[in-house]
Structure 1
Amino acid sequence: MFDASMMRTAPESRATQVSPILPLTMRDVVLRFGGATVLDGVSLDLGSRGCTVIMGPNGAGKSLLLKLMHGLIAPGSGDILWGGARPSEVMSRQALVFQKPVLLRRSVAANIDFVLKARRKDRSRRTALLEHVGLLHKADQPARLLSGGEAQRLALARALATDPEVLFLDEPTASLDPASVLAIERIMSDARQRGVRVVLVTHDVGQARRMADDVVFLHRGRIAEHSPASDFFPEPRCAAARDYVNGRIVV
């Protein structure tokens, strides 16, 4: 069984200084699908450091907001700027980890080698990356044989191999056991401490309390609240956020 306490410090990355692509500015962003408005009038500012947690009920638009920030989809209207640049201009300096990672049908080590080669990084970093996420002992094993938690840790190692300045995570611990959740949170925390800007979507209020420096709460496609975590969790300002944090159904 993986012991998160055995994780090693990740190799140094270029993200040890304040990122030049930050801050993020979103102004009056609207996203429509099939005639329906799924995000409406989103305006948001994210600073240069820390972990922003995006929360909200199902269908609120959390994953779509993450994809807009990253540049995977474009808004129907409004502006998204990373330090004055469009998302498409800085995608290579960011990384996105999904809830269900798609791994190459190769060995664990080969999954890392592929990214290092594609980004022209030093392939000798592979050992340190795998050791950091607790998978060095499985380097030669086919990635398809990994457990859910192990697969997600490999996905994180691949993301970190790109030396991202911003790390997006879309419910990375959903359906995982507590030990795997703890291990992944430690990897995220280490990235944040090394200067990587983290943006995390999660339904787990406990995880949000542990990880967040600030919280963006989405409701019906709008930002209902954006507050420091120290203000949000004791007493959310909006009724929908209070219901959500207290485990009540949000309408």
Structure 2
Amino acid sequence: MEETKDSKMIQNQTIIKAEELCVYFKRTNTKALENISFEVGKGETIALLGHNGAGKSTLLRCIYGSLRVQSGSVKINGEIIKNYTDIFFQSEDFLMNQSMTVFENIYFRLNLLKNEKFDIESILCEYGLIEKLDTPIKYLSSGLKQRASLAFGLSSKPLLMLLDEPTNAVDPATKYLLEKKMREYKEKLATCIFATHELDFAYRVSDRILMLQNGHLIKDVQVRDLDSSEELKEMYFKASKDSLLREVI
């Protein structure tokens, strides 16, 4: 994602600081995250790359505060997370009521957050959902569920967006809308961290890329230092291969 001089200055303001994060799942005897440390600047867009089980979703949940860590910490603006109202966490089980309509979900969220200045029909038009306003979430297609989730979360204008596989099983129009919204919110100084398997998408929309492999952070790359998405692909596959070889040896 293209940077300006002002955006670089803004990104020097640390909003997220993770230090030596460790997560261990006793039931499966798995180290999900091991000694993960990084910082994220205000207005920065970060892509998390890695194979299934690399730790991407676990890391997002640690940042959100819904998953307990065995050691280490995540701080947002210098504090352990206490207030969820400025954070939008989108995942497969994000908290939309599946039996309620699209309209009802957004209405109750904005009322819960005491957001008095909103026009739900305008929001639904913006996300291409106006014809589905009376449809329960459970009856929507995968692409429309993703749009409803975006409308549900982004309508409250969060300062931090955490997106877990936002491009998974969506149509090109929804993917385009997602990319558009991510760019718009970046201009408003919102910070975004998203997990994805799509390297081309990560290259287009992110400022930095964190590569995870079996719970370890193996690469932290500035997108501006890459010449093309092909270079990112080569780096990703080489880093993953080298990491796996080290584990075998």
What is the TM-score of this pair, normalised by structure 1? 0.81
Distance 2:131 2:185 in 1: 22
Structure 1 equivalent of residue 83 of structure 2: 90
Q: Is the 8 A contact 1:235 1:242 kept in 2?
A: no
Question: 2 CA distance for matches of 1:158 and 1:133?
Answer: 10
Unaligned runs of 5+ in 1: 1-17
Q: Structure 1 residue 46: deviation in Å?
A: 0.5
Give me the whole-angstrom Cα distance separating, in 1, the residues matched to 2:59 and 2:107.
30
- 4+ residue runs over 3 A deviation: 99-103, 232-237, 242-245, 248-251
Deviates further, 132-141 or 65-74: 132-141
- Give how far 1:160 is off: 1.4
Q: Deviations over 1:156-189 (max 9, x none)?
A: 1111133211011000121222222222222222
Deviations 1:125-156 (A, max 9, x none): 31232122121232223333322111111111
Out of 21, 25, 49, the residue aligned to residue 33 of structure 1 is: 25
Task: Select 1:78's aligned residue among 72, 76, 86.
Answer: 72
Q: How far did 1:39 drift?
A: 0.7
In structure 2, relative to structure 1, the CA distance for the partners of 1:145 and 1:95 (3 Å cut) is same
Give 1:36-75 correspondences, 5 Å limit: 36-75=30-69
Q: 1:57·1:244 contact (CA, 8 Å) conserved in 2?
A: no
Output the amino acid matched with 2:172: P
Pick aligned residue for 1:178 from 172, 175, 179: 172
Report the Cα offset of residue 250 of structure 1.
7.8
Matched, 1:114 2:130: no
Aligned residues: 229
Which of 23, 26, 49 is the aligned partner of 2:15? 23
Q: Specify whether residues 122 and 41 from structure 1 end up closer, same or farther in structure 2 by C-alpha distance, changes over 3 A only.
A: same
Q: Deviations over 1:27-71 (max 9, x none)?
A: 111111114322111011100112100001111101000110111
- What SS does structure 2 have at the residue aligned with 1:153? helix
Q: CA deviation at 1:111?
A: 1.1
> What percent identity do the matched residue pairs reach?
24
What CA distance in whole angstroms lies between the structure 1 residues aligned with 2:243 and 2:173?
29
Alignment deviations for residues 56-98 of structure 1 (CA, whole Å, 9 cap, x no partner): 11111010001101111121001211111102x1322211011
Distance 2:225 2:92 in 1: 28
CA RMSD of aligned residues (A): 2.7
2:196–2:202 CA contact under 8 A, matched in 1: yes
**139-148 or 193-202, which deviates more:** 139-148
Structure 2 residue 232 is matched with structure 1 residue 243? no
User: 1:148, 1:176 within 8 Å by CA — same for their partners in 2?
Assistant: yes
| Contact residue 218 and residue 243 of structure 2 kept, 8 A | no
User: What amino acid does structure 2 have at the position aligned with 1:241?
Assistant: Y
